Chains A and B, each alone.
Chain A
Amino acid sequence: EVQLVESGGGLVQPGGSLRLSCAASGFSVSSNYMSWVRQAPGKGLEWVSVIYSGGTTKYAASVKGRFTISRDDPKNTLNLQMNSLRAEDTAVYFCATGIGYLYFDLWGRGTLVTVSS
């Protein structure tokens, strides 16, 4: 079955760090454009980052310099290292992908990150 399963969310203090993972099955993360998209409670969707199949990465301005996207090809996993977390980073984080283009036909169920003291 083709699916994405996120993990690693939780409660973290402002200024802290957290590492999210997204395990893929049924396809190779190295062959797809893999993205993180977040959704603050009761709000809309915000794209966070993408890693292209060739390894190039892009970030939203709101997270650039604080978040790092990567993938572990042997484990078939997408990661998001989040540092210097702020209250406004509180959201459900989804990993998502599409084939060859940057629309998303496959989403995980998301993992909740709460940044609060």
Chain B
Amino acid sequence: DIVMTQSPDSLAVSLGERATINCKSSQSVLYSSSNKNYLAWYQQKPGQPPKLLIYWASTRESGVPDRFSGGGSGTDFTLTISTLQAEDVAVYFCQQYYSTPLTFGGGTKVEIK
């Protein structure tokens, strides 16, 4: 199984500042034949289902603000919120879909400092 490790567990950032979340996979999720990273990012607010933000490690889902960006390749990935807004307070999860069992990171809680 591919283990997904997120860091930090929680993060407090001032409004308008940058937030960076890390996600590391125990093996590469880069599919060589397509040169695509099978990595997605989700945002979850209390009492709601997760919302897809990013797929293929860096492709923003339709309607997601451009302050959200994803980067990385192979085993190391980041989700960056360039200028934190109040509505971005949530828990963020990474997920690999390279192979089953599909696995998620443990989550990073983003709060306002």
Contact = CB atoms under 8 A, between A and B. Distances in A.
Interface of A: 35, 44-47, 50, 58, 60-61, 94, 96, 98, 101-105, 107-110
Given A44-B105, A47-B103, A103 B50 contact: no
Contacts of B40: 103-104
B52 A105 contact: yes
Interface stretch (B14-22, B79-87, B94-102): B94-102
B95 A103 contact: yes
B93 interface: yes
A47 B40 CA distance: 14
B71 interface: no
Q: Which 5 A-B pairs have the closest CB atoms?
A: A107-B49, A102-B97, A103-B40, A47-B102, A45-B104
A46 B52 contact: no
Nearest to A58: B100
Interface residues of B, number: 22
A51 B51 CA distance: 21
Given A94-B49, A107-B49, 7 more contacts: A45-B95, A50-B102, A58-B100, A102-B38, A103-B52, A104-B42, A107-B51
A110 B102 contact: no
B37 to A, nearest CB: 11
B104 A61 contact: no
Contacts of B42: 45, 104
A65 to B, nearest CB: 14
B107 A44 contact: yes
Given A101-B97, A102-B97, A103-B40, A44 B49 contact: no
17 contacts: A35-B102, A44-B93, A44-B106, A45-B42, A45-B107, A47-B103, A94-B50, A96-B49, A98-B52, A101-B38, A101-B55, A102-B102, A103-B40, A103-B55, A104-B95, A109-B49, A110-B49
Nearest to A62: B101
Nearest to B61: A105
Contacts of B50: 45, 94, 104, 107
B97 A103 contact: yes
